[in-house]
Amino acid sequence: MIDLHMHSTFSDGMLTPSQLVENIANIGLKAAALTDHDVVAGCMEFKNAAQKLGITAINGSELSADYPNVSMEIVALDIPDKYIPTFMDRQTFMINERMRVAKERVRLLENLGMELDWQKIAFDENMKPRTQIGKPHIVAEMLRKGYIQNWEDGFSKFLNKGRPAYVPKNEPKAAEVIAFVLDNGAVPVLAHPIHTKRQGKELFELFRDLKKSGLMGIEVFHSDHNAELKRDYLAMAEELNLMASGGSDFHGGAHPEVKIGIGKGDLKVPDMILDVILERKITSADYYLNLAKYI
């Protein structure tokens, strides 16, 4: 089995890239991708640690993307090493944008009467500046100060869309993100379709529209997808001749129910998914039929 979606301390994960690799080795995964939000800064550490343990490491990043009335992110998979510098240039822009958003979120929370320690949010336990600041870092400080009782309260009551400390990011258009991924030699995959809040015909039309922009795959296997959703997404992928991808979306901390490799306990991402992504094409006539066995 493999896991092509996970986050480290370089975005909003709670484990370093090296610690992720240790966990991957302990459960026997053959390959994994580090897909931090809008950054690739942890890919080198991840790959070096994986090579020492005989694990195939895939360069990746989960990129913010704007699409009308849809929550969307595009996962760039198998980023060639030679294009990492280009992704680093984009990373700088997005880190600055995420910093703006984080400071505004904290300001809004303070307006609600919360006294939050910015140092605890912006620096890790070793007083090292975080590469970027995400919602989990703010929620962790809210928990520490006793303003909320659990992780979910921080998101659902304060930081999510429609809540008092929600701040939208300025994101590039989805078509631009997909073009950027393709131009830099990687495979663009729509992350967790369930989060788009679309289903049925509307979701299919979304997939088809994104394919026109160059989308190559969709994340069929994900911790938030039940068996019915996986079957639906796989069927749509087959009709549009899109690759399937999958991963736990592991963060740790904020989502303790999600485990590396197995998601919420029943996730199985087959090796053949990575084989197709690395080849950049579907070569087996039984590709979708074989994937269905893992649902």
What is the pairing mode between strands 70-77 and 56-67? antiparallel
CA distance 56 to 51: 7
Exposed / middle / buried, residue 201 (Cβ in 10 Å: 0-12, 13-18, 19+): exposed
Please report, for the chain, the start and end positions of each structural domain, with discontinuous segments joined by +.
2-84+173-292, 92-159
What pLDDT does residue 98 have?
Answer: 87
The whole-model pTM stands at: 0.88
Q: How far apart are CA 247 and CA 32, in angstroms?
A: 9
pLDDT for 271 equals 96
Q: What is the pLDDT along the chain (295 residues), one digit of tens a residue?
A: 999 999 999 999 999 999 999 999 999 999 999 999 999 999 999 999 999 999 999 999 999 999 999 989 999 999 999 999 999 999 888 888 889 999 999 999 999 999 999 999 999 887 888 888 989 999 999 999 999 999 999 999 999 989 999 998 889 999 999 999 999 999 999 999 999 999 999 999 999 999 999 999 999 999 999 999 999 999 999 999 999 999 999 999 778 899 999 999 999 999 999 999 999 999 899 999 999 999 9
Task: Say if residues 240 and 207 touch (Cβ distance below 8 Å).
Answer: yes
Q: What is the pLDDT of residue 124?
A: 84
Of 233, 232, 220, 236, the closest CA to residue 268 belongs to: 220
Residues in the chain: 295
Report how far apart the first and last C-alpha atoms of the chain are (Å, whole number).
13
CB-CB neighbours of 6 under 10 Å: 28
DSSP for 17-29, written as a single string: HHHHHHHHHHHT-
Phi, psi (rounded to 5 degrees) for 163: -95, 165
Q: Output the six-digit token pair for 198.
A: 């679309």
41 closest CA partner among 99, 98, 85? 85
Tell me the CATH number of domain 2-84+173-292, given options 3.30.70.360, 3.40.50.720, 3.40.50.150, 3.20.20.140.
3.20.20.140
Q: Is 80 exposed, middle or buried (0-12, 13-18, 19+ CB in 10 A)?
A: exposed
